[in-house]
Amino acid sequence: MDVRSDTILWAFLSDASKSEDKCVVKQKVNLTMVSVAKSILAKHVAVGDSKLVPGNEIGIRIDRTLTQDATGTMAYLQFEAMGLDKVKTELSVSVVDHNMLQSDFKNADDHLYLQSVAAKYGILFSRPGNGICHQVFLERFSKPGATLIGSDSHTPTSGGVGMISIGAGGLDVAVAMGGGLFYITVPKIMGIKLTGKLRDFVSAKDIILEVLRRIGVKGGRGYILEYFGPGLKSLSVTERATITNMGTETGATTSIFPSDEITKEFFKLQQREDDWVSISAGQEEDFDEVIEINLNKLEPMIAKPHSPGNVVPLSELEGKSVDQVAIGSCTNSSIKDMAMVAALLKGKTVHSRTTLGISPGSRQVLKYLAEKGMLADIISSGGRILESGCGPCIGMGFAPPTGSVSIRTFNRNFRGRSGTIDSEAYLVSPEVAVAAAIYGKITDPRKLGSYPEIEMPTSIDIDDSMILEPSDHPEDIEIIRGPNIQSLPKAIPLPEKLPKLNALIKVEDDITTDHIMPAGAKILPLRSNLPKISEFVFSQVDTTFATRALESKETGGGIIIAGENYGQGSSREHAALAPMYLGIRVVAVKSFARIHKANLINVGILPVEFADSDGFDKIEAGDSLEIAGIRTALEKGEKALTIRNTTKNIDIPVAYELSERERKIMLAGGLLNYTKEGGV
């Protein structure tokens, strides 16, 4: 029996007792439980309606969790603050992959902290060098039909095997590790029907770039993207994972594929056949909306600066000079990706004007390349082998030159994310990246010659020696805390009135968490030191922001004014934690990105949206504002609030969209306070 059939039966049995008309109930359940995503979610609902009506809030049980070191230190500090002696999940994994540069003690100290926490609290620890968290998790810990949340926005990578995998803030992950539920608003399901078969030199990356070309960076908000159709049969698990990984850039809650014979072969390769179950694909009538992509007609695509949604056919940019090429990241670093890169580079030389850096996704991938001689082909071409980590994707090494063009197989190309503020980053497939490296300019990869036949292995050597098991004697483990690790500040509950809010900054649409809390080699090592990292909030937008925010904190606090899709991109909780530390009490926008809004709620910052289309235009940076009746409104569930602009002497209506549980979190001063007080 596959997971969906089991779920339909489970839902039928649970509902049948409520009605004598069992046939009607069964028919209704089948109609609402057919998609892969709904079948898994329904089986994990613990609070709310398992019929999964879009827009309703549900609390789901989480089977597995994932953290990485850039967000993990804070997540585990939060977990420690709960006072539990062990994680309560089926499986929790901590991976070091982001802060790999050890230019001083900070990153090294954080890694020791993470390793000791994992040993003490029952968490598997993937050591530095073992690989990128999403690639490692896909290979060794993904499980069809299970639920996963991770403190990284690209956690949906494991949706490639038929797993509900959702990116979240570190505090949500900490609560799940403690046995708490994860709450989401039930999304709609957007079915993406794939027909045909990819032509030579067109890859899975081009599929997701085409999805982004059609729906953009906002079109997935409020949806799960679920793939179905005859085109699935030509896509391997790692190709599917490329697609689910980058589905995050549409704003979707997650992306998912069915679990079929191709999935089974992947688990057989990983020597984890016992983890595989069949989950049948949905049908066209099972989705709220359907997009069809004919793979036969797809051509190489490219995302221009500075958005993953700025996608055009590659032919529009052919001939543009290229200074740097970076291949890897959690999007394109699998055995198949790297084998293709090695085959295309074999016997060729990287152009003299271009540098090429390659980051294999995991130790498993790197070891395979070495054993098969493919590593030699890459090195002989002039390619530089970088660590199996995130590296260039988040500006941690291999930053491009001033004013340069960087071609990347990554998932994001926000301004400055590469580590160089004025570089132009373009997102492409591995095939297009190799062509750019060889020719020194954007080139159709079909000019490279015959398409290599990549023979995938039927068996590989599985070596988990760099994944450390937790201690059998946790009572003997001492948590190691370096001097850069600072204790958590306590969130302050909202008062009845905020009499003097300074409008500290006003920003436009599509502000990312990279804008709010930049990454890079200078800032990422400060993730466990909130006072220090807070100095860099909005530093790429306004270098005076942090100083002015601290001044406003002493006189009442600050407010951020923004346009559409505020907080898109990375799940980084510090984009909410650091503003909270700086005294931000409210963020008023036209609309929010999902994870960032949840993070604001979790730290006790009130997220409100302008009720009128011109509300945004009625506030300027520097205006003095006040909001009255906040606690009363939250206690009564009255959504309407008024921002009084005392500088302009006008009233601006705003509203919040919070569930009853989220209102209680706000009243408690954040999720940590709420959880410690016994909230669920």
Q: How far apart are CA 437 and CA 568, in angstroms?
A: 30
> Cβ(456)–Cβ(335) under 8 Å?
yes
User: Which residue out of 140, 240, 572, 594 is catalytically annotated?
Assistant: 572
> Does residue 612 carry a catalytic annotation?
no
Looking at this protein, which amino acid is placed at residue 450?
S
> Does residue 651 carry a catalytic annotation?
no
> Cβ(115)–Cβ(95) under 8 Å?
no
Q: Which of 571, 680, 607, 584 is closest to 170 using CA atoms? A: 571
Q: Residue 55 burial (CB < 10 Å; 0-12/13-18/19+)? A: exposed
Burial 139-176 (b: 16+ CB within 10 A, else e): bbbbbbbbbbbbbbbbbbbbbbbbbbbbbbbbbbbbbb
Give all strands (DSSP E) within 186-297, no chain letters: 188-195, 223-228, 254-256, 289-294
> Cβ(502)–Cβ(550) under 8 Å?
no
User: Which residue out of 63, 109, 110, 152 is catalytically annotated?
Assistant: 152
Q: How far apart are CA 167 and CA 148, in angstroms?
A: 9
> Does residue 412 carry a catalytic annotation?
yes
User: Which residue out of 63, 97, 377, 623 is catalytically annotated?
Assistant: 97
> Cβ(120)–Cβ(85) under 8 Å?
no
Alpha-carbon distances, residue 126 vs 114, 422, 667 (angstroms): 10, 34, 38
> Cβ(279)–Cβ(27) under 8 Å?
no
Sheet holding 289-294, edge to edge: 254-256, 223-228, 188-195, 289-294
306 cis-preceded (ω within 30 degrees of 0) = yes
> Cβ(619)–Cβ(637) under 8 Å?
no
For residue 571, give the DSSP letter: -
> Cβ(582)–Cβ(534) under 8 Å?
yes
Q: How far apart are CA 62 and CA 64, in angstroms?
A: 6
Q: How far apart are CA 660 and CA 393, in angstroms?
A: 38
User: Which residue out of 412, 585, 594, 596 is catalytically annotated?
Assistant: 412
> Does residue 572 carry a catalytic annotation?
yes
Q: How far apart are CA 330 and CA 150, in angstroms?
A: 14
- The total of other beta-carbon atoms located within 10 Å of residue 554's CB is 8
> Cβ(358)–Cβ(386) under 8 Å?
yes
Q: What are phi and psi of 633, to 5 degrees?
A: -65, -45
- The total of other beta-carbon atoms located within 10 Å of residue 460's CB is 17
Residue 423 contacts by C-beta under 8 Å, 6 or more apart in sequence? Answer: 399, 400, 401, 402, 403, 404, 405, 406
Q: How far apart are CA 655 and CA 607, in angstroms?
A: 9
> Cβ(437)–Cβ(354) under 8 Å?
yes
Q: Which of 506, 33, 40 is closest to 256 using CA atoms? A: 40
User: Which residue out of 278, 381, 539, 570 is catalytically annotated?
Assistant: 570
Q: Which of 529, 548, 528 is closest to 538 using CA atoms? A: 548
User: Which residue out of 98, 363, 515, 596 is catalytically annotated?
Assistant: 98
> Does residue 570 carry a catalytic annotation?
yes
Burial 86-98 (b: 16+ CB within 10 A, else e): ebebebbbbbbbb
Cα angle: 273, vertex 277, 281; to 5 degrees = 135
> Cβ(413)–Cβ(308) under 8 Å?
yes
Which active-site residues does the annotation give?
97-98, 152, 412, 570, 572
